[in-house]
Chains A and B, each alone.
Chain A
Amino acid sequence: MIRQLRRPDFWTVVTGVILVVLVVLLLIPIIRVLLLSFVDADTLKWTLGNYVEVFTRNFYLKGLKNTLFVGFLGTLGACMLGIPLAFFTARFHLWGRAWISTLAILVLVSPPFIGAYAWIMMLGSNGFITNFFGRIGIETPTIYGAHGIVLVFTLKFFPFVFLMTQTALMAVNKSFEDAAENLGCTPLQRFTKITLPLVFPAISTGAIICFVLSIADFGTPAILGRGFRTLSTIAFSAYRSELGGVPTMAVTVSMIMIAISMLALLAQRRILAKRRYASSLTNLPVKTHLTGWRNVAVHGFCHGVVLIAMLPSLVVVYTSFLKTNGPVFVGGYGLESYGRIWRTAPEAIANSFLFATAAVVLITAFSALISYVIVRRETTASGAIDFMMMVPYLIPGVVMAIGFVTTFRSGFFGGIGAAWLLVMLYFIRRLPYGVRSTTSSLRQVKPSMEEAAINLGAPPLTAFLKVTVPLILPGLIVGSLMGFITAINELSGTLILYDAGSITMPVSIYLAVLDGEFGLAAAHSTVLLLCTGVCVYFVFRFTENRNSAFL
């Protein structure tokens, strides 16, 4: 009697449930979107016409070019800030190093679209910096258009490059550098020939994240673009104009965005495949003291970068306390803006917390189960789940939301309310944060822990709840907090799915900015920043390696 298959047990059932959830909430919507891009909007027949249109019409080609342009330059800018910052903080004794990291992390998690409109308040046509220089007769460059978007991307995404590179730099075995010096390299040669190549995998991972996020970003080009359109704003407005009809052009454009992200990721994988360095931590790098003008310059650079990157958030908080009369700032300070968000849109605040909390409850439960299946079960199914956890990173919110609309607003699932769709959207888009953090926690727990519990008579679920969950709790909490931060700040998908009863804070902010209601937007943003800050504080409490918790 030869039995090849494992006896089905509790975890087999769990694996099945997870697969069903992922297929329904992730794969079907994406496949629906993919299929839709091959459908003719009028005749509903299969066609390649949509792609032909995208690749021939100047409007779309320009959008593609613009997207790549701001994507590349934003990534480049992020690298140019992030790499030196990482090197300086990893290799020199810096005053306020923890402060720099903390600010970088705050920049990373602050609501993504705040940057864009805060810069408008500073450098827009009526911005205070513009006005200040205008009064003394100097014309400042406008923030609108491509360079503004690049600036915001650079300042928004550099923390990814910074934190990843810094982590890698701190793990580079110093012996390599010593050996290079011993073989006659100057410090600069040593850096370019040894250190930089060794941390290249980390840099490129950080850069790829910047690139993928830049490509997918909707809020920044929507607010700052004016005439400058990127694929995500084109997809969104195409969706809006096709409303009621079949959103074929919106999804075709979205597919192009996904393709770009996937190509970038594959290219990076290919490059990295040939560069695998086992790192051993036997000889940790040491930090040196700088003196004189170098010391001043390095301190100036590091603190300058994180402060400028934090500027939007500070401006937003400051603005929220300015006295307003309707959309107009009337001078002096006051709480009118808070009063107005409380009177006009208390449901936005309530909804944001409600949806994000509901999503995070699901994220927490599923993260724990999924990470167990991924780490402890080596089956084809668990491999597939592991792979699917990569997908949400690559799919822009606009695409996921259109997939939800086409899948759940009609047919079999028809009639699911917007609120539920939003919770599901946040859940599936932010699930990977929870899973990743929980998975790395679980890898630290020896399997014999659960086996001991089972051996003592605990059924699998009991063993999981009584032994595994308490042991992975820190990772689970950190992952859930990250899920919460990113869920409560979600804009692009929400804009497509929300209705009058399910408006959220990011949507309110977006609408307020479009209406020029900066005080209102600032008050909302401050509330968001506040709860993001509280979450970050708790992440710090529960994690040993602060950098990696946020990546």
Chain B
Amino acid sequence: MASVEIKGIRKLYGDVVALSDINISIPSGSFFTLLGPSGCGKTTLLRTIAGFHDQNAGRIEVDGKSIEGLPAYRRDVGMVFQDYAIFPHISVRDNVAFGLRQRKVLASDISKRVADVLEVVQLGAFADRMPHELSGGQQQRVGLARAVVIRPKVLLMDEPLSNLDARLRVDLRAELRRIQRDLGITTVYVTHDQEEALAMSDTVCVMHQGVIQQAASPLDIYLRPENRFVATFVGACNFMSLSKEGGQFSLKSSGARVFDAAGFNATEIACAVRPETLRVASGHVTPSPEEIAIPAKILDVSFIGREMEVLTITDGGEQLKSLARPDPAIIELANGSSVTVLVKRDDLAFFEATEVGRRVG
């Protein structure tokens, strides 16, 4: 167990800035997830921590001690690779024992620790198999066992579940988290699957183009995104256009005043709202004081089992998506029927209208 401090890391590939001024603090024993679209620099950051390449600037501290001078093979940072990287020419047992042998652990201890960790990942019966005799999920667990058996100070995992089918992914997700909790290893986990990130992490860190957008608890990331990129990348968002009179912004679609700010133009502010906070009612409805009513027409309703997805279009031509408990009264409405979309004022979020615009209200 160890805490990790990442201070001012910068990494260039030629002219490409892969990481720019990354600052992260990971408390001991916690599960920290890097989440972001493809090419945002997640793998690069992980490989920097593992020591597979040198950063251009910045430092990394484990338990307050800089690990700069240590080559990759002496960093004591376990890694689970995206493609597992199980050595194909040696058995499962030898794969798992590899790191222990490098550390000159006594042979008797090695066999005990290997047996123990294989029990933990439920592969006790597979110790003498060769890697090609294992399924993808089993190989993935060998990779995990091999990384944790050396009791690394920090465990790195690069999209370890991305090569697996959806069902297995959900199962292994829980298993990974259980093992990590039991062993209490500080973990940095990389994924571009937001559901995975929210479900597993103590802290989710959203990255975009080599820059950290927000690092916070899953709940905060989802409910209180700090910028527009986080809001759109984690969970879905509807965007509504605003008009400005005096210092006040109102929704174009309903005329309701929603936001006071003198310093911005109407086009510089984006108003976002999550689909699951929108309520669709048929016909004309008078809103309660904390709600805003937006007149609209049904564009499409799809019933997807647990939920229904209602796509509406406002008189101004904006599309709004709503996600709600299935309601037969709505599902049976014909396309083009008049409805009212109701939204609570508190559920509206305002961002500067750039891609990574910060939250302004």
Contact = CB atoms under 8 A, between A and B. Distances in A.
B251 to A, nearest CB: 49
Contacts of A279: none
A297 to B, nearest CB: 46
B75 to A, nearest CB: 8
Interface stretch (A66-74, A233-241, A416-424, A460-468): A460-468
A11 to B, nearest CB: 12
Interface string A24-55: 00000000000000000000000000000000
Contacts of B150: 456-457
B256 interface: no
A46 B83 CA distance: 61
A454 B99 contact: no
A10 to B, nearest CB: 9
B72 A2 contact: no
Interface in A467-485: 467, 470-471
Contacts of A457: 73-74, 76, 99, 102-103, 150
A427 to B, nearest CB: 28
A4 interface: yes
A452 B82 CA distance: 11
B54 A456 contact: no
B146 A448 contact: no
Contact of B73 (A6, A458, A471): A458
Interface size band for B = 20 to 34
B87 A449 contact: yes
B309 to A, nearest CB: 38
A448 B102 contact: no
Contacts of B76: 457
Interface string B54-86: 111100000000000001111011110111010
B134 to A, nearest CB: 16
A7 interface: yes
A93 to B, nearest CB: 34
Nearest to B53: A6
Contacts of B87: 449, 452-453, 467, 471
A178 interface: no
B98 A458 contact: yes
A2 B83 CA distance: 32
A3 B78 contact: no
Contacts of A470: 89
Contacts of A454: 52, 72-73
B204 interface: no
A455 interface: yes
A285 to B, nearest CB: 31
Contacts of B55: 3
Contact of B54 (A7, A449, A462): A7
B305 interface: no
A446 B131 CA distance: 15
B54 A463 contact: no
B88 interface: yes
A7 B72 CA distance: 11
B48 to A, nearest CB: 12
Given A3-B56, A7-B54, A459-B73, A451 B146 contact: no
A456 to B, nearest CB: 3
Interface residues of A, number: 26
B86 to A, nearest CB: 8
Given A453-B98, A455-B78, A463 B73 contact: yes
Contacts of A456: 73, 78, 98-99, 102, 146-147, 150
Interface in A425-459: 446, 448-449, 451-459
A455 B56 contact: no
A446 B85 contact: yes
A455 B77 contact: yes
Contacts of A286: none
* Residue from A452, A459, A463, A466 whose CB has the most chain B CB atoms within 10 Å: A452
Contacts of B146: 452, 456
B71 A462 contact: no
Contacts of B56: 2-4
Most buried by A among B53, B54, B76: B54
Nearest to B96: A456
B293 interface: no
B54 A6 contact: yes
B50 to A, nearest CB: 6
Contacts of A9: 71
A466 B99 CA distance: 12
Contacts of A449: 85, 87
Contacts of B57: 1-3
Interface in A459-513: 459-460, 462-463, 466-467, 470-471
A308 B133 CA distance: 48
Interface in A1-24: 1-4, 6-7, 9
Nearest to B86: A452
A449 B88 CA distance: 9
A455 B79 contact: yes
Nearest to B88: A471
Contact of B52 (A3, A451, A458, A459): A451
Contacts of B50: 451, 455
A371 B297 CA distance: 66
A2 B72 CA distance: 20
Contacts of B71: 7, 9, 459
Interface string B7-38: 00000000000000000000000000000000
Nearest to B72: A454
B159 to A, nearest CB: 12
A471 B89 contact: yes
A455 B78 CA distance: 6
9 contacts: A6-B54, A448-B81, A449-B85, A455-B147, A456-B73, A456-B78, A457-B76, A457-B103, A457-B150
Interface of B: 50, 52-57, 71-74, 76-79, 81-83, 85, 87-89, 98-99, 102-103, 146-147, 150
Given A455-B50, A455-B77, A458-B73, 13 more contacts: A3-B54, A3-B57, A6-B53, A7-B71, A9-B71, A449-B87, A451-B72, A454-B73, A456-B73, A456-B78, A457-B102, A463-B73, A470-B89
The 9 closest A-B pairs by CB, nearest first: A456-B99, A457-B102, A448-B85, A452-B85, A455-B79, A470-B89, A448-B81, A454-B73, A454-B72
